[in-house]
Amino acid sequence: MIPRPPVVTIMGHVDHGKTTLLDALRSSRLVDSEFGGITQHLAAFSVTLDEAERAACNSPNYSPIGISYPKAAISSITFLDTPGHATFTAMRARGAKATDFIVLVVAADDGVMPQTVESIRLAKDSNGGKYELFIIQNLFRT
């Protein structure tokens, strides 16, 4: 079996900066082209790690928390962008089930909102409760 790259799903409440965060990672402005400024589908993209990043991931000292990957498999990382609007719960649930890591984006000026709580629940319910959750507090919304 060919090992797959790790999958990182970005989740959170609507307008808390999920797509903007990913735009920064991929040097794009997809958020500008979304109808009504709202993500309405699951979007995926991969980042190929450069030589130094691959070396760090494949070093004997590297071990993602609770996740074991064949060392040669970590040459890229796949990111999933999920919609934050209440209407798209099923899409967030699919994203949570297909992931190794969840990054929960929370806008500092709004704090915890309904889809923030829902995203935490989806993370806990998916994958038998075995997940990695990282929370980013977004201080710079546009």
Is 63 domain-assigned? no
Is 123 domain-assigned? yes
* Rounded-to-10 torsion of CA 75, 44, 38, 121: -80
Is 2 domain-assigned? no
At residue 70, the pLDDT reads: 54
Is 127 domain-assigned? yes
pLDDT at 119 exceeding the cut of 60: yes
- What is the per-residue pLDDT across 7-53, written as a single tens digit (0 to 9) for each? 888 888 877 677 787 777 777 666 666 555 666 556 778 888 888 77
pTM of the model: 0.72
pLDDT at 103 exceeding the cut of 80: yes
Using DSSP bridges, classify how beta strands 132-138 and 43-48 pair: parallel, antiparallel or unpaired. Answer: unpaired
The parent domain of residue 132 ranges over: 7-49+78-138
11: CATH: 3.40.50.300
Contacts of 39 (CB under 8 A, 6+ apart): 18, 19, 81, 82, 83, 84, 88
Q: Provide the residue type at 86 as one letter.
A: A
pLDDT level of residue 54 (50, 70, 90 thresholds): confident
> Mean pLDDT across the stretch 86-95?
75
Distance CA 83, CA 43 (A): 9
pLDDT at 59 exceeding the cut of 70: no
Residue 133, strand partner residues: 102
Is 64 domain-assigned? no
In contact, 19 and 105? CB cutoff 8 Å: no
Is 40 domain-assigned? yes
Is 60 domain-assigned? no
At residue 108, the pLDDT reads: 83
Is 65 domain-assigned? no
Domain count, the chain: 1
Catalytic positions: 85
- When the pLDDT of each residue in the chain is averaged and rounded to a whole number, the result is 73
